[in-house]
Amino acid sequence: MTRQRERIHGLYGITDSGLMLGPALLEKAEVALRAGLRLLQYRDKGPDDARRQREAAALLALCEHYDALLVINDDPDLTHRIGAKAIHVGEEDAGIADLRAILGPDVLIGVSCYNDLARADRLAAAGADYLAFGAVYPSPTKPQARHAALSLFTAARPLELPLVAIGGITQDNVADVAAAGADAAAVISALFGAADVAAATQRLQAPFRRQIEETP
């Protein structure tokens, strides 16, 4: 599990059914993976379970080929069926104890903490493997999302878990997110909505590579 947690670093791509489905989903995901993406979340709220399972299984195979971690959004049953090694849940989803009962001790569990440090503290104590805060900037995907100040990353550092920033992150502000102490930046539109997904992957990843190079 320690190694899995260490993989929560750098660019964290999130798929969006509004931007890509079917072949386009797999094509864009592979472009990003080939360009260096090593952390990908499959997020699809659609009702077609058969399609979602096919897509998630295909993404898992791609991620395994590129030594990347696939995270399933909000769906423990899908996570279990395809054998994914990570899941991300929000405040209305199953609790950590229930997820462990379904998925076992070795599946990484990430949790949305929004702008709530007390929630992050509770979930860290309950066994979460990483904590996500956001929206750190206005988000085109969730325009009504609560705002999370970048100062939360300093405040949450004593919890000693990987910290993920999400919401409105672009090539113009991702360096500020990394400098604030986030271990990873979760990105949807600025990655998969880009005209050149490979170039976007590399630019969004760059501040985190510098962060590693500059660490004493």
Q: Cite the active site residues.
A: 43, 112, 142
The pair of structure tokens assigned to 4 is: 């899995």
Cα 168 from Cα 178, distance rounded (Å) = 14
CA 108 to chain centre: 12
Helix/strand/coil for 55: helix
Instruction: Name the β-bridge partners of 88.
Output: 73, 110
**CA-CA distances (angstroms) from residue 74 to 39, 78, 84, 112, 119?**
16, 9, 13, 11, 18
Q: How many CA atoms lie within 13 A of 179 on its CB side?
A: 4
